[in-house]
């Protein structure tokens, strides 16, 4: 039974890591697009009015991708809880030894939430 749970968990982990990578790639490409538009407009000597709507839409897309990233990070967090619930808490998924254990990541998030900005 444990072997089957581990196999299924690995499949979910692979899908999760692929989704995270896809969102990060989309964020990177969209940020490059948003950054290129004003630079190209300036190089062309065009008015600041040119392409403003396109820049705003690209910025909206960037924000939507940031929200998608937040959602996939929350999905990751919830799946780490499920991992423990099904008896696989001590197992590293995905084989990336450079990543900290999920429990350490979760503890760090809790610690960071407790911090407040001093004004």
pLDDT digit string, tens, across residues 44-100:
999 999 999 999 999 999 999 999 999 999 999 999 999 988 888 766 666 554 555
Contacts of 58 (CB under 8 A, 6+ apart): 30, 33, 34, 37
Whole-model pTM?
Answer: 0.71
Is 119 a domain residue?
no
Q: Are 80 and 72 in contact (CB under 8 A)?
A: no
Are 64 and 96 a contacting pair, CB within 8 Å?
Answer: no
Radius of gyration of the chain (CA): 20
Going by pLDDT thresholds of 50, 70 and 90, the confidence category of residue 35 is very high
Distance in angstroms (rounded) separating the CA atoms of residues 80 and 29: 29
Domain count, the chain: 1
Cα–Cα distance measured from residue 49 to residue 106, given in angstroms and rounded to the nearest whole number: 45
Confidence band of 105 (pLDDT split at 50, 70, 90): low
- With cut-offs at 50, 70 and 90, classify the pLDDT of residue 1: confident
In a domain, 71, yes or no: yes
In this structure, is residue 107 part of a structural domain?
yes
Determine phi and psi for 12, rounding to 5 degrees: -65, -40
Write down the pLDDT at residue 90.
67
110 belongs to a structural domain: yes
Domain hosting residue 109, numbered range = 2-114
Cα separation of 36 and 32, whole Å?
A: 6
């Amino acid at each position: 039974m444990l072997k089957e749970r581990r196999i299924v968990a690995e499949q979910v982990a692979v899908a999760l890591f692929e989704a995270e990578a896809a969102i990060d790639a989309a964020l990177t490409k969209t940020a490059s697009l948003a950054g290129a538009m004003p630079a190209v407009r300036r190089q062309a000597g065009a008015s600041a009015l040119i392409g403003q709507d396109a820049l705003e839409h690209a910025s909206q897309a960037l924000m939507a991708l940031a929200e998608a990233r937040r959602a996939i990070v929350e999905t990751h967090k919830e799946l780490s809880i499920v991992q423990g619930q099904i008896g696989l808490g001590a197992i590293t998924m995905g084989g990336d030894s450079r990543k900290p254990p999920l429990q350490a990541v979760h503890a760090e998030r809790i610690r960071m939430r407790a911090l407040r900005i001093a004004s």
